[in-house]
């Protein structure tokens, strides 16, 4: 890996981290859910600044081309994240349903009281 691509990647990652942090600051993103993304950003940054780490890890796992290891990890991470999101959507849709029912029945009782 040459220095130029290392710098480009570092700049992109740092920009992304700034955007994420800024969104957390503005409450557009909840810190709880942004943690995973911050962790990814920091890990990629470490691998970018210290390419030796990646080579050592790939060697350790018996992967010949370090880039393949990145693809593999990236793929696994994405799958886990998507799955967690699906679980969250399920939970939220149940809560949303209960909230809507509760609200509808509450409004009904209130309007009956007025009569």
Partner 1 sequence: MKKLIIIPAYNESENIEKTVQAIEKEAPDFEYVIINDCSQDETKRICEKNHYNVVNLPINLGIGGAVQTGYRYGYEEGYDLAVQVDGDGQHDPGFLKSMAEYLTEQNLDMVIGSRFIRKEGFQSSGVRRIGIKYFTVLIQMLTGQKITDPTSGLRMINRDVMKIFAYDYPKDYPEPESVVAILRRKKKVAELPVIMKAREGGVSSISPKKSVYYMIKVTLAILIEWIRK
Residues making contact with partner 1 (CB under 8 A): 93, 96-97, 100-101, 103-105, 107-108
Instruction: Indicate the Cα dihedral angle 38, 39, 44, 46, nearest 10°.
Output: 110
Q: How far is the CB of 82 from partner 1 (least distance, A)?
A: 21
| φ/ψ of residue 27, rounded to 5 | 65, 20
Q: How far is the CB of 30 from partner 1 (least distance, A)?
A: 22
> Measured on CA atoms in the order 18, 23, 24, 26, is the torsion positive or negative?
positive
For partner 1, the closer of residues 25 and 97 by Cβ is: 97
Q: How far is the CB of 103 from partner 1 (least distance, A)?
A: 6
For partner 1, the closer of residues 59 and 107 by Cβ is: 107
Angle formed by the axes of helices 31-49 and 3-25, nearest 10°: 170
């Amino acid at each position: 890996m040459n220095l130029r691509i290392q710098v480009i990647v570092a700049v992109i990652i740092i920009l992304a981290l700034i955007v994420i942090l800024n969104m957390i600051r503005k409450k557009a993103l909840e810190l709880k859910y942004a943690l995973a993304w911050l962790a990814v950003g920091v890990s990629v940054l470490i691998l970018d600044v210290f390419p030796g780490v990646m080579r050592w890890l790939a060697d350790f796992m018996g992967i010949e081309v370090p880039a393949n290891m990145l693809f593999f990890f990236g793929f696994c991470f994405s799958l886990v994240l998507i799955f967690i999101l699906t679980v969250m959507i399920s939970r939220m849709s149940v809560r949303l349903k209960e909230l809507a029912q509760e609200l509808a029945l509450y409004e009904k009782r209130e309007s009956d009281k007025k009569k």
